[in-house]
Chains A and B, each alone.
Chain A
Amino acid sequence: MVKVAIWGSLRSATDGKAEVVVEAGNFKQLLDQLVIEYPGLEPQIKRGVSLALDGKIYRDAWFTKINEDSEVVLMPYMVGG
C-alpha cells in the first residue's frame, strides 16, 4: 500500500482527505487505482499530473517503482518557459 498526498483543491474528490492509501507498485498502477477509488480525480489526471517520489518530480513516468515507505505527492503537470 502506498500513501499519496493530494493537493488541497483536489480533496473534494477524496472525501476531504489530504492523504489517501492505494495499492500500487508503480506510477501507472497508482494513477489507475486513484481513478478507480476516487473517480473525481479523473478529470485532473487526464489533464495531466506530475508525481513527486521522495522529493524528485516525475512527468509521464509510468513504470517508476514506488516503495511502500516512499513519499508520494500528486502535483499538477509541470510546464516551463
Chain B
Amino acid sequence: MALDENGKRIFKVVGTRPARPDGIDKVTGRAMYGADATAPGMLFGQFLRSPHAHAKIKSIDTSAAEALSGVKAVITSKDFGTPEDESVRDVQDNCMAGDKVLYDGHAVAAVAATSAAIAKQALKLIKVDYEVLPHVTDVDAAMQADAPIVQAGRAMDDLPAGMSENVTYHFEFGHGDLEAGFAKADKIVERSFKTAATHQGYIEPHACLAAMNSDGKGELWCCTQGQFYVRELCADIMEMDASQLRVTASEIGGGFGGKTTVFIEPVALALSRKSGRPVKVVMSREEVFRASGPTVSSSTDVKIGMTNDGRITAAHATLRYQGGAFPCGTVQFGAQSAFAAYDLDAVQTIGWSAMTNRPKEAAYRAPGAPMAIYAVESVVDELCQELALDPLEVRLKNAADKGTKSSYGPTFDAIGLKATLEAAVAHPHYAAPLGPNQGRGLSCGFWFNFGGNTSVSMNLNFDGTVGITEGNPDIGGSRASISQMAAEELGIGYEKVRTIVADTNSIGHNDVTDGSRVTFAVGLATIKAARDAIQKMCARVAKIWDIDEDAVYWEDGYAKPSGPNAGTFEPMSLEEIAAISAETGGPIAGHHEVNADGAGVSFGVHLVDIEVDPETGATTVLRYTVFQDAGKAIHPDYVEGQMQGGAVQGIGWALNEEYIYGEDGRLQNPGLLDYRIPVASDLPNIDTVILEIPNPGHPYGVRGVGETPIVPPLAAISNAVSRATGLRLSELPMSPPRVLKALNAKG
C-alpha cells in the first residue's frame, strides 16, 4: 500500500501527543501483567535447572518428589513428544533438556504443587545423575576443530576443514573488487573486536498461567510479544490443534525481542495436563538470566581502506557470533547490516555462527546489527582520527542514499541517512566545547524493518464511538498510535476510539510484535479497515438519500453528496450513521487482513559526549543526542521514547552489561546487582531529533522506529572514549576495570 498521493496532507490527529491509554492502569497498579492472573484450584510450577554447563543426563529419579504431599505433577522431557519441525524441537529441548543439559540453567524437570514452597521443596527431592562433559562458552574457542561438541549432527553443510562441528551457519554478502579497492586506499586500518552477550533487561520476568481441560481444550495467559506464535509453538509441542488453545497476552513489562519465543509456557501446559489443574509459573530474576534468551556475543575483524580526503575505497568484515546451544542465524543480519550506511564500490562481509554452552539466543532490538556496526564504525572513526578528518563529513561523503546499491544487495529507495547526518552537523551539540578527559563520539545505525501478517477489525458502536481489535501486544504505545490513525482516517476525535489487543480466538493471525512492524503494518491495516468502514457507511447513506453509492464521498467525518448532480443533502456524521445502523442494515464494521510489505529501512545517527575518570576508569555520559528518520511520527512522544530507550540500552551494552562465565561454564552474575543496567542517575536527558522522510510504502509514510536506536550507541560511546583517552578499546563492555587497565598500560 503506497504513500497516499496527497502525501502532503495536513494531519489533524496524527502527529499529536494524546495521553497514553494504558497510563492510568500502569501507574496505579491495575494493569494485569503475566504474574497477575489467578484461577480457582491453581497450582504453582517450578523448574529444576542444571548446575552444569554441559552434561549427559544418566538418570532422573522423581519418585520422592512425586510422593511429597501437595505435589500434583512432576514432568521431565519424557512427558513430551518429538515435534516434526526441527526449529520447534529446538524450542522444546530448550524448555526441557533431553538426554543432555546444554548450559548452566537448562531445565531438567518441573513440579506443580499446591504452594510455591512445596514445589521448591519437591525440586530438592529430584535426583539427577549427571555425567559432566567438557564445555565451551567463547565463540572463537567454539569454532576450533578440537572444541567440545555442543550438539552433534547440527553442523552446517560443507563445513570447512579445520572448523568445529559447532559451526552451523555461514553467510557472505557484498559486491565489487576488494583487492582493487584496497589498492586505491591511502590508509588501511584493520582491527578485531569482541562484544559480550547482553540481556534485554525487561523488568517483568516471564510468567504464565496455563489450564488444560480434560476435553483437550487449553487456555494460556502469558506475557509475550506474540500470542499467535506462542499458540503455534505450544500447540505443536503439546500435539494439539491450534484452534483448541486460546492464548491471551497480558500487559507486558518490556520485551525488546526477548519475549518473541517461549521458555516456560509449554512446560506449564504439560504440568496442567498431567495434574488436571491450572498451573502458574513465574520465573525468578536468576532464572531469567540463566534460562531465557540473551543476545549473541561476537568476535569481528574489520578492514577498511580510505583515501586521504575521506572516501572509503574498500571494506571487509568477518563476523563470528555464538547464539548459545542451538543453531542461530542471527549473524546473517550482522553481515547484511554492517556496511549498510555506506555507498561502497567494493564491500564484503562474511558471517559464521557457532553453538556454545550458553542459553539459546533470543532477539534483542535489531538482532545482530549493533555488534557488527560497532566494529565497522570504530574503524571508520579510527581512520578519521588517523587522517585528521571530520567524522561527520566523512560519513556524509560516503553515505548511502536513494539509488545506492546496498552492501547486502538491493538498491535503496528514498532513505533518510543524509538528512540525519546533516541534522547532526547543524545541531549545537556538535560544536559544543569539551573539557579535560572528555570526548565526543558518533556513529550511524541501521535496521531493515518489516511488515508481516496482520489482522485488524474495526466496529462502529451505536453511539458513534469506534472499537478496534488488533492482535499485537502493545510494547511501545501502539494502542495510541493505532487509535490516532483510525481517528485520522475516519475524521473523528481520538477520544472516540479505543483499541484493544485480542486473544488468539478473537481475531485473525498476527505476527509477533517485532521487527519494528506494528505501527507500520497494524497502522496500514487500520487505515484500510477504516476505508472499508467508510465505504460501507457511504453505501448506507446512499440508500437513505436514494442515490448511487459512488455519488457519496467521505470528508472530515461526514458522508457528503459528491456534487450538485447528486442532489442536495445535509452531510451525515459518523455518529448519525452509526445511530441508525440497525435500521439501515445492521452493525457496521471494517476489517483488513494483509501480509504487509514495504516497511522501509531506517537510519539513525547518535552523538555523545562522555568523560573518563582517569583514576577509576569509569565513563560518565554527559550529553546524548539521537537523530533518526522515523518516516511520519504518528505519536511523537512514543517515537522519542523509542529513540531514548534504544540509546539507553545501547549505553548499558557499551559500558557495563555482560554475561560473565566462570571457568566452570556457570553464569557468574545472574542478577541486577551484578549485571548492571543503566539507571536514571547514570544518564543525562537523551535529546531527540525526529526526521520525517516519508516511507513510500505506507499511506501516511510511517517507518518502524523501535530497533535502529540501539545500534549506534556501542560505537558512538567507544569512539568518544577513544577521543577522550587516546586509546582504542576493542572489547565491550568498556567497564571501569577494563578502561583502567588500558589507561595503566598506556602509562
> Do A and B originate from a single complex?
yes
Q: Chain A interface (Cβ within 8 Å of chain B)?
A: 5, 7-9, 11-12, 18, 43, 50, 52, 54-61, 64, 71, 73-76, 78-81
Q: Is B599 an interface residue (CB 8 A)?
A: yes
Given contacts A80-B515, A80-B707, 17 further A-B contacts (CB under 8 A): A8-B174, A43-B157, A52-B409, A58-B597, A59-B595, A59-B597, A60-B595, A73-B409, A73-B410, A75-B410, A76-B332, A79-B367, A80-B366, A80-B447, A81-B363, A81-B364, A81-B707
Contact of A7 among B172, B448, B514 (CB under 8 A): B172
> Top 10 nearest A-B pairs by Cβ distance?
A81-B257, A80-B515, A8-B172, A81-B363, A52-B410, A73-B409, A9-B172, A80-B514, A55-B413, A76-B332
Q: Are B411 and A9 in contact (CB under 8 A)?
A: no
Q: Are B363 and A57 in contact (CB under 8 A)?
A: no
Question: Would you call the interface of chain B mostly helix, strand, loop, or mixed?
Answer: loop
Residues of B within 8 A of A56 (CB): 410, 413, 597-598, 697
Q: Is B412 an interface residue (CB 8 A)?
A: yes
Q: In the complex, how many angstroms separate the beta carbon of A72 from the nearest chain B beta carbon?
A: 9
Q: Are B412 and A55 in contact (CB under 8 A)?
A: yes
Q: In the complex, how many angstroms separate the beta carbon of B195 from the nearest chain A beta carbon?
A: 16
Are A76 and B336 also in contact (CB < 8 A) when A59-B597, A81-B257, A81-B367 are? yes
Q: Are A71 and B257 in contact (CB under 8 A)?
A: no
Contact of A8 among B173, B363, B451, B515 (CB under 8 A): B173
Name the residue of chain A whose CB is nearest to the CB of B171: A9
Q: Are B410 and A57 in contact (CB under 8 A)?
A: yes
Name the residue of chain A whose CB is nearest to the CB of B348: A8
Q: Is B329 an interface residue (CB 8 A)?
A: yes
Q: Is B320 an interface residue (CB 8 A)?
A: no
Q: List 5 A-B contacts (CB under 8 A).
A: A7-B173, A54-B413, A73-B409, A81-B365, A81-B514
Q: In the complex, how many angstroms separate the beta carbon of B347 from the nearest chain A beta carbon?
A: 11
In the complex, what distance in Å separates the CA atom of A76 from the CA atom of B329? 9
Residues of A within 8 A of B366 (CB): 80-81
In the complex, what distance in Å separates the CA atom of A59 from the CA atom of B515? 12
Q: Are A71 and B515 in contact (CB under 8 A)?
A: no
Q: Are B449 and A7 in contact (CB under 8 A)?
A: no
Contact of B450 among A5, A11, A57 (CB under 8 A): A57
Instruction: Name the residue among A12, A55, A78 with the largest chain B CB count within 10 angstroms.
Output: A55
Name the residue of chain A whose CB is nearest to the CB of B175: A18
Q: Are A59 and B452 in contact (CB under 8 A)?
A: yes
Instruction: Name the residue among B333, B412, B516, B517 with the largest chain A CB count within 10 angstroms.
Output: B333
Contact mask for chain B residues 154-189; partner A; CB cutoff 8 A; 1 contact, 0 none: 000110000000000011111100000000000000
Contact of B171 among A18, A64, A73, A76 (CB under 8 A): A76
Residues of B within 8 A of A7 (CB): 171-173, 408-409
Residues of B in contact, count (CB < 8 Å): 45
Q: Are B413 and A81 in contact (CB under 8 A)?
A: no
Q: In the complex, how many angstroms separate the beta carbon of B642 from the nearest chain A beta carbon?
A: 13
In the complex, what distance in Å separates the CA atom of A39 from the CA atom of B257? 34
Contact of B515 among A43, A61, A73, A78 (CB under 8 A): A78
Q: In the complex, how many angstroms separate the beta carbon of B371 from the nearest chain A beta carbon?
A: 13
Q: In the complex, how many angstroms separate the beta carbon of B316 from the nearest chain A beta carbon?
A: 12
Name the residue of chain B whose CB is nearest to the CB of A8: B172
In the complex, what distance in Å separates the CA atom of A43 from the CA atom of B258? 27
In the complex, what distance in Å separates the CA atom of A81 from the CA atom of B362? 8
List residues of B (247-296) whose CB comes within 8 Å of A's CBs.
256-258, 260
In the complex, what distance in Å separates the CA atom of A61 from the CA atom of B517? 16
Contact mask for chain B residues 423-459; partner A; CB cutoff 8 A; 1 contact, 0 none: 0000000000000000000000001111110000000
Residues of A within 8 A of B409 (CB): 5, 7, 52, 73-75
Q: In the complex, how many angstroms separate the beta carbon of B251 from the nearest chain A beta carbon?
A: 19
Q: In the complex, how many angstroms separate the beta carbon of A74 from the nearest chain B beta carbon?
A: 8
Q: In the complex, how many angstroms separate the beta carbon of B159 from the nearest chain A beta carbon?
A: 13
In the complex, what distance in Å separates the CA atom of A79 from the CA atom of B514? 8
Contact of A80 among B158, B170, B332, B516 (CB under 8 A): B516
Residues of A within 8 A of B367 (CB): 79-81
Q: In the complex, how many angstroms separate the beta carbon of B710 from the nearest chain A beta carbon?
A: 9
In the complex, what distance in Å separates the CA atom of A8 from the CA atom of B335? 11
Are A55 and B411 also in contact (CB < 8 A) when A8-B348, A76-B171, A80-B514 are? yes
In the complex, what distance in Å separates the CA atom of A61 from the CA atom of B544? 41
Instruction: Name the residue among A18, A54, A78 with the largest chain B CB count within 10 angstroms.
Output: A78
In the complex, what distance in Å separates the CA atom of A52 from the CA atom of B450? 12
Q: In the complex, how many angstroms separate the beta carbon of B538 from the nearest chain A beta carbon?
A: 29
Residues of B within 8 A of A52 (CB): 409-410
Name the residue of chain A whose CB is nearest to the CB of B330: A79
Residues of B within 8 A of A76 (CB): 171, 329, 332-333, 336
Residues of B within 8 A of A74 (CB): 409
Residues of A within 8 A of B408 (CB): 7, 75
In the complex, what distance in Å separates the CA atom of A58 from the CA atom of B597? 5
Q: Are B517 and A8 in contact (CB under 8 A)?
A: no
Residues of A within 8 A of B707 (CB): 80-81
Q: Are A55 and B410 in contact (CB under 8 A)?
A: yes
Name the residue of chain A whose CB is nearest to the CB of B411: A55
Q: In the complex, how many angstroms separate the beta carbon of B350 from the nearest chain A beta carbon?
A: 8
List residues of B (339-363) whose CB comes within 8 Å of A's CBs.
348, 350, 363
Q: In the complex, how many angstroms separate the beta carbon of B515 from the nearest chain A beta carbon?
A: 3
